[in-house]
């Protein structure tokens, strides 16, 4: 295992809003072949080629320290980010590390839904001119509640070429939130499910304040139908895995419905 140590700045005050409910998913990640430790709060975990999971830790006043996942796709010296860290500070530190230590310029960010663990750092990225892509439902909600608004909208699906890597953004239906999307990298068979998907050791669905439980399992079933061969599934929090995470999420939804 290769571990690279970056700068180690003071940990900033945690954000008080817990977005995705993390009971049962706090255990440390099993370390893969290559992990870049940027500082105490930020890691990059290598998946394949130049694709990484970005993991950032947060410590809100009302909850213990917990991780959130995002994705970084690097092609030809440019990076695409899927979901920001939960605040501008960590987002800035991650972006600057890509530039200063990896010679990579961040050019786009995809926002998975309207919660802070997807767009808490959007203000910083917009201040440096990064294009932000989101579902039209997410954009409408951001305008409604007065937070940073992504710049590029799509309704049900958006497919684009990122320097030779196809990226598919899809809204399959409601679940963790009314606006949650997935990001699919077909050539690598990588699915970023965000908070719509639960990690394998999650024992519940977590924060249901914006959930649409009635639709959640049907949304997952649509994903399974559209992507029958998946190599890696990345949930919003906790250990990533394979297609078994989709089945596990459905089981948790059914358990919640039967309460």
d(CA 159, CA 75): 17
Given a cut of 80, is residue 13 above it in pLDDT? no
Provide the 3-class DSSP secondary structure of residue 158.
strand
Instruction: Given the residues 58, 90, 237, 248, select the one marked as catalytic.
Output: 237
- Domain membership of residue 44 (yes or no) is yes
Q: Is residue 248 annotated as a catalytic residue, yes or no?
A: no
Return d(Cα 100, Cα 61) in angstroms, integer. Answer: 32
Of the candidates 108, 195, 217, 248, the residue annotated as catalytic is 195
The question of whether 117 is a catalytic residue gets the answer yes
**Catalytic residue selected from 41, 116, 117, 179:** 117
- What's the token pair of residue 255? 């358990």
User: What is the predicted pLDDT for the residue at 72?
Assistant: 98
Q: Angle 249-71-240 (CA atoms, 0-180°, nearest 5)? A: 35
Locate all alpha helices (DSSP H) within 120-212, ordered by sequence.
Answer: 122-127, 136-145
198 counts as catalytic: yes
pLDDT in tens, 46-59: 999 999 999 999 87
The total of structural domains in the chain comes to 1
Average confidence (pLDDT) over 9-20:
33
Give the model's pLDDT for residue 33: 53
**pLDDT value at residue 3:** 35
In a domain, 245, yes or no: yes
Q: Tell me: pLDDT of 88 over 50.
A: yes
Q: Note the pLDDT of residue 67.
A: 93
Pairing of strands 105-110, 131-135: parallel
The average pLDDT across 195-202 equals: 97
pLDDT for 191? 98
Give the pTM.
0.87
The region, left, alpha or beta by phi > 0 then psi within -120 to 50, assigned to residue 22 is alpha
The four Cα atoms 59, 175, 206, 210 give a dihedral, to 10 degrees, of: 70
Tell whether 3 is covered by a domain. no
The rounded mean pLDDT for the chain is 89
Residue 125 Rama label (left phi>0; alpha psi -120 to 50; beta): alpha
Cα separation, 240 vs 233, whole angstroms: 6
Find the catalytic residue in 69, 88, 135, 207.
Answer: 207
Distance CA 248, CA 203 (A): 9
CA terminus-to-terminus distance, the chain: 44
Residue 17 covered by a domain? no
Residue 20 confidence (pLDDT) above 60: no
pLDDT band at 12 (very low <50, low <70, confident <90, very high): very low
pLDDT above 90 covers what percent of the chain?
A: 82
Evaluate whether residue 4 is within a structural domain: no
Choosing from 83, 198, 217, 248, which is the catalytic residue? 198
Q: Is 24 a domain residue?
A: no
For 106-164, the pLDDT digits (tens) are 999 999 999 999 999 999 999 999 999 999 999 999 999 999 999 999 999 999 999 99
The domain in which residue 107 lies consists of 30-257
> Domain with 68 in it: what CATH number?
3.60.15.10
Residue 78 is predicted with a pLDDT of 98
If phi > 0 it is left, if psi is from -120 to 50 it is alpha, else beta; for residue 173 that is left
58 is catalytic: no
Do the beta carbons of residue 120 and residue 87 sit within 8 Å?
yes
pLDDT at 62 over 80: no
Mean pLDDT of 172-198: 98
Q: How far apart are CA 172 and CA 181, in angstroms?
A: 7
Mean pLDDT across 223-248: 97
Does 143 reside within a domain?
A: yes
207 in catalytic set: yes
Among residues 58, 113, 141, 248, the one annotated as catalytic is: 113
Has 118 been annotated as catalytic? Answer: no
Q: Can you tell me the mean pLDDT for 102-107? A: 98
Query: Above 50 in pLDDT, residue 22?
Result: no
Catalytic residue among 58, 115, 141, 248: 115
Average pLDDT value for residue range 35-43: 96
> What's residue 236's pLDDT?
97
Tell me, yes or no, whether 225 lies in a domain.
Answer: yes
């Amino acid at each position: 295992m290769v571990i690279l140590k970056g700068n180690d700045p003071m940990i900033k005050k945690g954000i008080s809003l817990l977005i995705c409910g993390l009971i049962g998913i706090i255990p440390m990640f099993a370390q893969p072949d290559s992990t870049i430790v940027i500082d105490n709060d930020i890691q990059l975990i290598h998946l394949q080629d130049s694709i990484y999971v970005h993991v950032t830790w947060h410590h809100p006043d009302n909850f213990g320290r917990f991780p959130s996942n995002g994705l970084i796709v690097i092609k030809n010296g440019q990076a695409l980010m899927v979901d920001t860290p939960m605040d501008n500070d960590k987002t800035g530190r991650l972006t600057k590390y890509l530039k200063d230590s990896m010679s990579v310029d961040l050019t786009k960010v995809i926002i998975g839904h309207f919660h802070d663990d997807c767009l808490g750092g959007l203000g910083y990225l917009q201040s440096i001119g990064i294009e932000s892509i989101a579902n039209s439902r997410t954009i409408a909600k951001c305008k409604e509640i007065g937070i940073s608004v992504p710049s590029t909208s799509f309704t049900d699906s958006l497919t684009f070429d990122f320097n030779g890597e196809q990226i598919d953004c899809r809204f399959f239906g409601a679940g963790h939130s009314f606006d949650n999307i997935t990001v699919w990298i077909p050539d690598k068979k990588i699915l970023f499910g965000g908070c719509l998907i639960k990690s394998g050791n999650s024992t519940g669905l977590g924060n249901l304040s914006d959930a649409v439980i009635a639709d959640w399992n049907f949304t997952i079933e649509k994903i399974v139908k559209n992507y029958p061969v998946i190599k890696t599934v990345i949930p919003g929090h906790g250990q990533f895995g394979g297609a078994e995470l989709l089945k596990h999420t459905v089981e948790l939804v059914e358990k919640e419905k039967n309460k």
